[in-house]
């Protein structure tokens, strides 16, 4: 009887150990390297027929040239009308500070194409060590327009769409009032951190944000382990609707602190309006 009990205990321990190693292997070696396309269909008569690709939180490491090219190829194959880039292109933190040079990242980002334009904002990591200046210089007078609390009109066939780029809240750079000065409807807004959602004017058709990495590690029945403190866990990933306003928070394509993801698969967001 005792031997049988010990045998069952051994089986349980072995099962738990194997499962734990499989989860660790998946989280560190497999899931962070995946790249999915999250297709959204959004009802909006004013934006009907428009395809927007939103990509955020690149966090390209020094040896990430192949990864960056894979992301760019995946973006370009979508043949988007408009591409919005949500920031955090570099890596900069105490655990993982080996980043690809901002200049090299910018040169690769210039390979991204869209029918009516590519628009970018910066994230909190990009403002560190002057990387934001590098991106501003690299994108100047190119088809990639860096949006720093500003808006612009895009001619789409016989219509005009207002694109609004809001600088990062978590870096203390946001100025929503300035960003929407003179903005018209229909309008699509994008930013790095979703914190500014409550400040977005009600006439904006849709807002895109990132920063959270979808929690980066999510446990079944529990949810994200990592939630940015300033967000209080309110906006982590997916669609949100409040006060007749809509926003999508992307899980992004990279990682920070640790190169780990679990139930937070990296994603490129393809939004098609109908």
Q: How confident is the model at residue 130 (pLDDT cuts 50, 70, 90)?
A: confident
Q: Is residue 88 within 8 Å of residue 126, measured between CB atoms?
A: yes
Residue 95: CB partners within 8 Å, gap ≥ 6?
257, 258
Q: Is residue 160 within 8 Å of residue 46, measured between CB atoms?
A: no
Is the dihedral angle over the CA atoms 70, 67, 130, 165 positive or is it negative?
positive
Share of the chain above pLDDT 90, in %: 73
What local confidence, expressed as pLDDT, does residue 4 receive? 77
Structure tokens of 263? Answer: 């139930």
Query: Half-sphere exposure (CA, 13 Å, Cβ side) for 120?
Result: 27
Residue 93 DSSP symbol: S
> Average pLDDT of 138-143?
94
Higher-confidence position of 216 and 129: 216
For residue 232, pLDDT beyond 50: no
Mean predicted lDDT score pLDDT of the chain: 91
> Average pLDDT of 214-225?
84
Claim: this prediction has a pTM higher than 0.95: no
What local confidence, expressed as pLDDT, does residue 93 receive? 62
Residue with tokens 């090219």: 69
Distance CA 237, CA 242 (A): 15
Q: How confident is the model at residue 162 (pLDDT cuts 50, 70, 90)?
A: very high
Residue with tokens 């194959």: 77
The 10s digit of each residue's pLDDT in 89-115 is 998 765 555 889 999 999 999 999 999
> Average pLDDT of 148-175?
93
Distance CA 30, CA 27 (A): 6
The 10s digit of each residue's pLDDT in 165-210 is 999 998 889 999 999 999 999 999 999 999 999 999 999 999 999 9
Mean pLDDT is highest, among 61-65, 204-208, 229-233, 236-240, for 204-208
Q: How confident is the model at residue 237 (pLDDT cuts 50, 70, 90)?
A: very high
What local confidence, expressed as pLDDT, does residue 198 receive? 92
Lowest mean pLDDT among 5-14, 21-30, 132-141, 180-189: 5-14
């Amino acid at each position: 009887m005792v031997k049988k009990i010990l045998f069952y205990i051994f089986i349980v321990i072995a099962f738990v150990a194997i499962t734990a190693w499989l989860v660790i292997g998946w989280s560190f070696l497999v899931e962070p390297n995946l790249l999915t396309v999250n297709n959204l269909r959004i009802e909006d008569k004013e934006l009907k027929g428009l395809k927007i690709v939103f990509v955020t939180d690149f966090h390209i490491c020094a040896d990430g040239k192949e990864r960056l090219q894979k992301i760019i190829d995946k973006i370009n194959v979508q043949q988007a009308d408009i591409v919005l880039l949500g920031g955090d292109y570099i890596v900069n933190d105490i655990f993982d500070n080996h980043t690809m040079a901002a200049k090299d990242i910018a040169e690769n980002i210039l390979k991204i194409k869209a029918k009516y334009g590519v628009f970018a904002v910066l994230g909190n990591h990009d403002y560190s060590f002057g990387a934001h200046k590098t991106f501003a210089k690299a994108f100047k007078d190119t088809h990639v327009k860096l949006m720093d609390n500003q808006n612009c009109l895009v001619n789409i066939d016989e219509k005009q769409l207002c694109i609004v780029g809001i600088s990062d809240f978590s870096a203390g750079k946001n100025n929503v009032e300035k960003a929407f000065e003179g903005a018209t409807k229909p309008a699509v807004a994008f930013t790095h951190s979703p914190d500014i959602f409550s400040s977005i004017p009600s006439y904006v058709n849709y807002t895109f944000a990132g920063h959270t990495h979808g929690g980066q590690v999510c446990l079944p029945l529990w949810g994200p382990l990592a939630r940015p403190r300033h967000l209080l866990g309110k906006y982590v990933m997916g669609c949100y609707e409040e006060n007749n306003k809509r926003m999508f928070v992307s899980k992004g394509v990279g990682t920070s602190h640790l190169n780990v993801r679990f139930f937070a698969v990296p994603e490129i967001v393809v939004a098609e309006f109908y």
